[in-house]
Structure 1
Amino acid sequence: MPVSLSHPARRLFIRRTAQLAVAGIAAPLVPTPALATESDVRSLALDHTHTGEQLDLVYAQGEQYVPDALASLNHFLRDHYTGDVGVIDPNLFDLLHRVRLELGVSQSFEVISGYRCPTTNETLRTTRSGGVARRSLHMDGKAIDIRLPGVPLSELRDVALSLQAGGVGYYPSEQFLHLDTGRVRRWQG
Structure 2
Amino acid sequence: MSMTTLSRRGLLAAFAATAVTAAPTASNAFGFLRGAGDIRRIKMYSGRTGESIDTIYWIEGEYVPEALKEINHFMRDWRTDQKVVIDPRTIDIAAASHRLMDTGEPYMMLSGYRSPATNAMLRARSRGVAKNSLHMKGMAADLRLKSRSVPQIYAAAAACHAGGVGRYMRSNFVHMDCGQVRTWNG
Establish whether TM, by shorter chain, passes 0.5.
Answer: yes
How far did residue 38 of structure 1 move? 5.9
Query: Is residue 2:140 matched to residue 1:152?
Result: no
Query: Is residue 2:172 matched to residue 1:184?
Result: no
Taking the TM superposition and a 5 Å limit, the aligned residue runs for 1:1-189 are 21=9, 23=11, 40-126=38-124, 128-189=125-186
* Matched residue type, 2:149: P
* Matched residue type, 1:89: D
* Matched residue type, 1:122: A
Q: How many residues align?
A: 160
- Distance change in 2, residues 1:136/1:22 (3 Å): farther
Greater C-alpha radius of gyration: 1
Structure 2: how far apart are the matches of 1:103 and 1:181? 19
Runs (5+) with no aligned partner, structure 1: 1-17, 25-36
Runs (5+) with no aligned partner, structure 2: 1-5, 13-18, 22-37
How far did residue 22 of structure 1 move? 5.2
Q: Which secondary structure does the structure 2 equivalent of 1:156 belong to?
A: helix
Q: Which runs of 4 or more aligned residues in structure 1 lie more than 3 Å from their structure 2 counterparts after TM superposition? A: none
Q: TM-score, normalised by structure 1?
A: 0.79
- Distance change in 2, residues 1:19/1:55 (3 Å): farther
Is contact 2:157–2:165 with CA below 8 Å preserved after alignment? yes
Q: TM-score, normalised by structure 2?
A: 0.80
Identity of aligned residues (%): 38
User: What's the C-alpha RMSD, in Å, of the aligned pairs?
Assistant: 2.1
Q: Deviations over 1:40-71 (max 9, x none)?
A: 21111111121111111111102111111100
Is contact 1:19–1:41 with CA below 8 Å preserved after alignment? no
